[in-house]
Every structure is written in C-alpha cells, then in structure tokens.
Structure 1
Amino acid sequence: MATNPRRPERRQEPLSRERIISAAVELLDTVGEGGLTFRALAKHLATGPGAIYWHVTGRTELLGAAIDSVVATTIAAVDDADATPQEAIRALALGVFDAMDAHPWVGTQLTHAPSHSPMLRVFERIGRQIQALRVPEAAQFTAASALMSYILGVAGQNAANTRTLRPDTDRTEFLDSVATAWKELDPDEYAFTRNVAGQLREHDDREEFLAGIDLILTGIIALQRPTG
C-alpha cells in the first residue's frame, strides 16, 4: 500500500528577545503605545503570550527595551571616528530628530523613562564631544544639557505635531493656512509673529533644527579654553 511522502515541517525562526523587541517596535510604529499589548504582540509573532514572558517580564521592560533599540540603532548609524566634535554633535542630533520623527512614540515614552534612560547614551556622546571642544569643566554640564534639552524638545515637538495631523494632511497647505492666520493677527500685539509668517510658510523642519544646533554650538565654542 502506497504511503504519502512525509511533509517536511515548517521551520520557524526561534523566538528571541531581539526578535520580540523588533516586533514591539513595529507594533508601536503602526498602532502606537495603546496598541502594544502582549496579546497583540503574541499574535504578531504567531506565538503565545507565555513565550514572550520568558524573555520580557512586562510591558514597562518591553517599552524600555524598544526605546533602547531605537536609540542604539541611531547612535550606531551616525558614529564616525573621523568627524570633528561639531560634525559629530550635528550628526547625532539629526539622527535623534529623524528617529523620533520615524518613531513618534519614543518622545512620549522618554518622559516616563527612569533615571537610567536610554538617552543617557546620547548625553554621554554629546558630553565627550563637549570635552573635545575644550570647554571648561565647570561649563561642560550646562553645555551638554543645553544641547540635550534642545534636541529632545524640538524633536519631540516635531514628532507630536506629526501625530496630531491627519495622515492625508498636505504639509505645504497646512503651513500656508497657519502663516495666513499669523498675517491676520493684531499688528500691535503680534508685530514679530506677523513679520516672520512668510518664513514659517517656507521653512524646512530639519534645516531649522540644525540651524538651532549651530546657534548653540556657536555659544559653546566661545567657551573654549585657550590653547598653548
């Protein structure tokens, strides 16, 4: 009696902590923080919630690991041993800006992060570049903190703005409507705002962000210790 040939078993990629975190980032990007549950993650990974708990103890640890993964990837992408301190800071700042733009949930979660935040990696690298710029030791913390505050503040606000706009919103039309509204403000109370309305209409978020970094760097470089 003929027998059917045995079908080879489908080999599945083994479940690992790295695979779980990668899947969590994908879910956060598509459904946001509210949609990240162990049930949804288990379905995304085609496994059971119990298998995930073997690698991750809970949602808080999972969110922290997801942020750490994004930050680590960002840092690795911009590391350049040959860059000047200014170039390294600009590249790192823009990397964080782009990462938070691509993963808007990161900014929200950083405000709830513990003291050992993944962003300490960014702070450490900025601090080393501040030292390389020969900034006096007494001013190094202030200089690094100013850069961090600007990076997180502007990048976070940009990500928040992106989340509030509808996906089908045309950026040019949106900025044009806001600029038009600024132009119609009271000329005595909002003289400056009316004057720069045209620049709002034409500005590029990334270029404006880097221009702000350069302004801060100009002030930091003025603090350099004299050589010789």
Structure 2
Amino acid sequence: MASRAPRPERREEPLSRERIVEAAIELLDTAGEGGLTFRALADRLATGPGAIYWHIAGKDELLTAATDAVVARALTPDPAGTQPQEAIRALALGVFDAMDAHPWIGTQLARAPAQSPLLRVFEGIGCQVQALGVPHAAQFTAASALLNYILGVGGQNAANARGHRPDTSRAEFLDTVSASWANLDPDEFAFTRSVAGQLRDHDDRAEFVAGIDLILTGITAHTG
C-alpha cells in the first residue's frame, strides 16, 4: 500500500490578510501572475483555500493588494526640506526599482488606472508638481507626463531584464545588441549606428534619471 505524502506542517501564527499578501508577492516574484493560484497560495501558507477566501475575495483583489503593498514600500516619505525636483527623482527611482525587483507590478499598474496602487504614485507626483509652482491648468499634463515616463521606462527595463537568456549576463546581452546596431544599414539607420557604443556602456538607472530631469526641465521652464 502506497504511503501518503506528508502534508505541510501548519503554521501556528494566525492567518491574516497581510500574511496572504506577502505570500502572494513571493509567488508572483517566482512564478508570475500565471503561477498565482489560491491552491498554490494555500500550499505556501499551509492552509486551505477557504481560509484565504475569508480574507481575500478573489484573484483580482489579491493582485491589487499585492501591488499596493509593493508600491507603498517604494514610496518612502521624503525628509523635511526635500526640494520638489529631488522628491520626484526619489519617487521615480523607488517605482523603477520596485518594477525591476517585481516585474509583474508594471502590468498591474497599467491594467487598473483607477485603483489605489497607481493613484498612490500619481498623487505623489502631483503633490510635487504643485510644489514646483506649475499652474493649475498644466498640472494634470505635467503629472501625467512624468507618470507615463516612469511606467513606460520602468516596465521596459523590467521586460528587458527578463528578455535575455538566464545564462547570459546583462553586459553580454548589451554587447550582442550593440554589435547588431553597429552593423545596421548606414543609410537607413545612421543615428542608431552612431549610438551603438552608448547602448553597450549605459547605466539603466542613470539614463532613467536623466530622462526625468529632461521632463522636469521642460516643466519648470513653463512655471512662474
């Protein structure tokens, strides 16, 4: 008679929404959205799916809660006296790094613009745009431009990190792409060929912040 596999030992601490959300984040980081099921979550928490449903109504609510938890940690309060430009850079880098560490949140932020995770980011940007003295009529446009840049570049960076083979380093990946750019048709892709070396040597975070500064320069040029 075949013996049964031992069941996971149940945890002694009570199940809570916070524990469920943290376990969901771990699953999303390792298996992606497709790997986040209530059965897999129940196995990780050594409980039954019914106990999870007591705290979380469904997968959509769980994804929102997990995204909100990651974003809330990324948006750390600014020290007193922080200038608006520096606060925006810090916020942008916080979201950029969060998307790099948790690639799945980019999709979640883009998917649900009316929910709290994205609104946290938009509110943080908007408050600093106001502090810059941007006229009210231009505040939505300025905050939206910054938000769209952060989500677009952060999401693309996360996608690029997943795009190359696990046995290929970032440097090797960039060397390959740079070499392909350098060999493009010189008439059709003159500019792309000219910056092939910069692609190989660039720093993702530094380039990201440089883009934020370009947008801020444009915003502040129209204040006052």
**Shared fold (TM-score, shorter chain, > 0.5):** yes
Could you list the per-position Cα deviations for residues 46-100 of structure 1 after superposition, in whole angstroms to 9, with x for gaps in the alignment?
A: 1111100000010110001000100111113x53332110010000000000000
- Give unpaired runs (5+ residues) of structure 1: 1-9
- Give unpaired runs (5+ residues) of structure 2: 1-9
Distance 2:163 2:185 in 1: 27
Q: Please tell me whether the aligned partners of residues 110 and 117 of structure 1 are also in contact (alpha carbons under 8 angstroms).
A: no
Q: Which amino acid aligns with 1:202?
A: D
What's the counterpart of residue 153 of structure 1? Answer: 152
- Structure with the greater alpha carbon radius of gyration: 1
What's the counterpart of residue 169 of structure 2? Answer: 170
What's the counterpart of residue 90 of structure 2? Answer: 91
Query: Matched residue of 2:75: which SS?
Result: helix
Q: Where in structure 1 do 4 or more consecutive aligned residues deviate above 3 Å?
A: none
Distance 1:52 1:215 in 2: 46
Distance 2:204 2:56 in 1: 37
Query: Matched residue of 1:119: which SS?
Result: helix
Higher mean C-alpha displacement, 162-171 vs 58-67: 162-171
Distance 2:115 2:214 in 1: 29
Tell me how far 1:110 sits from its aligned partner. Answer: 2.1
Q: Which amino acid aligns with 1:201?
A: R
Tell me how far 1:111 sits from its aligned partner. Answer: 2.6
Distance 2:140 2:211 in 1: 19
Return the TM-score normalized by structure 1: 0.91
Distance 1:211 1:202 in 2: 15
Query: Matched residue of 2:184: which SS?
Result: coil
What's the counterpart of residue 34 of structure 2? Answer: 34
What's the counterpart of residue 18 of structure 1? Answer: 18
Tell me how far 1:118 sits from its aligned partner. Answer: 1.0
Query: Matched residue of 2:14: which SS?
Result: coil
Distance 1:85 1:112 in 2: 28
Higher mean C-alpha displacement, 196-205 vs 107-116: 107-116
Q: Which amino acid aligns with 1:182?
A: W
Q: Please tell me whether the aligned partners of residues 29 and 102 of structure 2 are also in contact (alpha carbons under 8 angstroms).
A: yes
Higher mean C-alpha displacement, 165-174 vs 98-107: 165-174
Q: Please tell me whether the aligned partners of residues 113 and 119 of structure 2 are also in contact (alpha carbons under 8 angstroms).
A: no
Q: Which amino acid aligns with 1:45?
A: L
